[in-house]
Amino acid sequence: MRVEGRRLARSFLRCFAIQGSFNDRTYQAGGLTYALLPLLQRAYGGDPVGLREATERHLARFNAHPYLAPMAVGALARLESEGADPATIGRFRRALTGALGAAGDRAIWGSWRPFCLLLGLLAFSLGSGPWMAVLAFLGPFTAGHLAIRLWAFHRGWTRGREAPAALGSFFWQRVPRWLSRGSLMLVGAVAVGLAGPIAGEMSMGSVAGAAAGLVAVLASFRPEAGGRLAGVLLVIAPLAAVVLR
Amino acid sequence: MLLCMLLGGVTAVDAVSWPQAMISRPVVSATLGGAVLGEPLAGLTVGAILELLALRHLPMGTASYPDTGPAGVVAGASAAVSVGPAGLAAATLAGWAIGWMGSRTVGWLRSLNAWLVAGPSVQELAARPARLERRHRWAVALDVARGGVLVGALLVPAAALSTIMPDVRGAPAEVAVVGGLIGALAAGAGAGGGALSSRGREVLLVALGAVGMIVLRTLV
């Protein structure tokens, strides 16, 4: 079935709001249905009962990584357009939740995003101005997430049931691991690098940097304890100014 | 104030509802907050610390995480009017606290969203798709409003806290204040690194990065 580009574009753009009505009962189901509607209306044009049943199907609980959810939108719309039976659609829909969630969490929240954030912080610690630092983060990150979303939607619409197979590829399995390792090195570099600007005019900038590096390394072995220590020190810092002035 | 509230709304909605372009991250939101008052560098400084503190809080599964968009805007604006490291420390602390307060309001919003799109019977919503579309858009609009209200309510107290902090530059207390801030960012960074690594030995890469930066700083 030929679907005009405008409908596909509308559906794709609606994917950016897929978490707009996120809730703890149906998660992204409202957003998924919202994004699917332009294509469902095309698939079931002249069949209001079919449209109502399809809409009802997709209001059931659904959750996936928001940048990969467009794959679900494209693939489910494809299945609906091809007249797949509701049981098949339901099974595929449930399988997508695990696949798209796990791949996205690992590759994007756990690798791509922290890597780009730390690039921005590294730029700041090396002396760049604030807007260059922001650009050092948002530039690559924006290019990446837009490309992923577009690829996911296109893959879903053109491949239907076969779409998620791409998530087992080298790119989705290996690259996130490299990025995570890169992020770990950047964590150490940034902890040392930012100590200098914060130490400011104090003559102990290099000592502060070394100490920061040591604290970062130790905290990385015990993330929970490191997080608590960070919170405690954050409270102590302003209190010290009041108590010791 | 209105501009900050608008920024608060825009950064709040970006975190989850639309479009998740990551302008809600402290690196961006705090820089913007500082820029509103003419001090983007102060904003970024506090944003950098908040970013490292938030690094280990990944939005996976049922994990909770701070609402960094409005928190960053408030922290950045507060840092812009602060004087000295104590003011910076107060702005950072305010931002961190507001982030977790904001996280609570996200929970309330989700309950409201459940009423909006999961409350009516599925058959009712499916029969009238236009109603579903309207409710979905309302949910997005409510998230914008939530961020704006959060900033509107907490910007003045946070900025006031930052401005009343004593200027400890040149005083003995400066070492304690700066040491505390640096310790917090380093511990937060390390904790974030630990959360990101999948294998125990990988955290040694943190040491490699730290040594590399020390060498670079020494040579340059």
Q: Please indicate whether, in this complex, the C-beta atoms of A238 and B52 are within 8 angstroms of each other.
A: no
Distance between CA atoms of A17 and B190, rounded to whole angstroms? Answer: 33
Give the position of tokens 């467009």: A70
Percent of chain A past pLDDT 90, that is, above it, reads: 70
Q: Is the peptide bond before B85 cis (omega within 30 degrees of 0)?
A: no
Question: According to the model, what pLDDT value does residue A202 have?
Answer: 54
Q: Which of A62, A234, A239, A243 to probe the B interface (max B CBs under 10 A)?
A: A234
Q: Which of A21, A105, A239 to probe the B interface (max B CBs under 10 A)?
A: A21
Q: Which of B36, B56, B185 to probe the A interface (max A CBs under 10 A)?
A: B185
> To the nearest whole angstrom, how far is the Cα of B152 from the nearest Cα of chain A?
22
Q: What is the mean pLDDT of residues A126-133?
A: 93
- Answer for the pair A182, A140: CB distance below 8 angstroms, yes or no: no
Question: According to the model, what pLDDT value does residue B173 have?
Answer: 85
Q: Please indicate whether, in this complex, the C-beta atoms of A230 and B184 are within 8 angstroms of each other.
A: yes
Q: Please indicate whether, in this complex, the C-beta atoms of B132 and A67 are within 8 angstroms of each other.
A: no
Count CA atoms within 13 Å of residue A146 on its CB side: 7
Question: According to the model, what pLDDT value does residue B201 have?
Answer: 75
**Which residue in the set A23, A117, A214 is minimally distant from B110, CB to CB?**
A23
Pick the closest to residue A109 from B8, B65, B103 (CA basis). Answer: B65
- CB of B157 less than 8 A from some CB of A: no
A110 contacts on B by Cβ (under 8 Å)? 58, 60, 196
A105 contacts on B by Cβ (under 8 Å)? 58, 60
Q: Which of B13, B50, B104, B136 to probe the A interface (max A CBs under 10 A)?
A: B136
Query: For A25-59, what is each residue's pLDDT tens digit?
Result: 999 999 999 999 999 999 998 899 999 999 999 99
**Which residue in the set B89, B136, B185 is minimally distant from A191, CB to CB?**
B185
> To the nearest whole angstrom, how far is the Cα of A10 from the nearest Cα of chain B?
13
Distance between CA atoms of A35 and A62, rounded to whole angstroms? Answer: 13
Least confident piece of the model among A193-197, A230-234, B161-165: A193-197
- CB of B10 less than 8 A from some CB of A: no
Per the structure block, which two tokens stand in for A111?
A: 């690798």
Q: Could you count the other beta carbons within 10 Å of the beta carbon of residue A192?
A: 30
**3-state secondary structure at position A203:** coil
Instruction: Name the residue with higher pLDDT: A218 or B143.
Output: B143
Distance between CA atoms of A192 and A70, rounded to whole angstroms? Answer: 39
Least confident piece of the model among A118-132, A169-183, B19-33, B114-128: B114-128
Q: Could you count the other beta carbons within 10 Å of the beta carbon of residue A45?
A: 10
Give CA torsion, residues A166, A171, A175, A177, to 10 deg. Answer: 40
Pick the closest to residue A31 from A78, A64, A8 (CA basis). Answer: A64
Nearest residue on chain A to B31, alpha-carbon basis: A130
Q: Please indicate whether, in this complex, the C-beta atoms of A188 and B206 are within 8 angstroms of each other.
A: yes
- Answer for the pair A44, A58: CB distance below 8 angstroms, yes or no: no
Q: Could you count the other beta carbons within 10 Å of the beta carbon of residue B220?
A: 7
Question: According to the model, what pLDDT value does residue A204 have?
Answer: 64
- CB of A43 less than 8 A from some CB of B: no
Q: Which of B113, B131, B202, B204 to probe the A interface (max A CBs under 10 A)?
A: B113
**Which residue in the set B21, B93, B118 is minimally distant from A23, CB to CB?**
B118
Q: How open is the CA angle A18-A35-A137, to the nearest 5 degrees?
A: 40
B72 contacts on A by Cβ (under 8 Å)? none
B214 contacts on A by Cβ (under 8 Å)? 192, 206, 209-210, 213
Which of A 101-120 lie inside 8 A of B, CB atoms? 105, 109-111, 113-114, 117, 120
> Looking at the DSSP assignment, which residues form a beta bridge with residue A23?
A27
SS (H, E, C) B69-92: HHHHHHHHHHHHHCCHHHHHHHHH
Distance between CA atoms of B211 and A150, rounded to whole angstroms? Answer: 39
String of DSSP letters for A209-239: HHHHHHHHHHHHHSHHHHHHHHHHHHHHHHH
Q: How open is the CA angle B179-B184-B190, to the nearest 5 degrees?
A: 125
Q: How open is the CA angle A124-A130-A132, to the nearest 5 degrees?
A: 80
Per-residue pLDDT of chain B (220 residues; tens, 9 = 90+): 899 999 999 999 999 999 999 999 999 999 999 999 999 999 999 999 999 999 989 888 778 889 999 999 999 999 999 988 899 999 999 999 999 999 999 999 999 999 988 877 888 888 889 999 999 999 999 999 999 999 999 999 999 999 998 888 877 888 888 889 999 999 999 999 888 887 777 778 999 999 999 888 888 7
ipTM of this model? 0.93
**Which residue in the set B21, B136, B194 is minimally distant from A226, CB to CB?**
B194
Q: Please indicate whether, in this complex, the C-beta atoms of A17 and B192 are within 8 angstroms of each other.
A: no
- CB of A184 less than 8 A from some CB of B: yes
DSSP state of B56: T
Q: Please indicate whether, in this complex, the C-beta atoms of B85 and A208 are within 8 angstroms of each other.
A: no
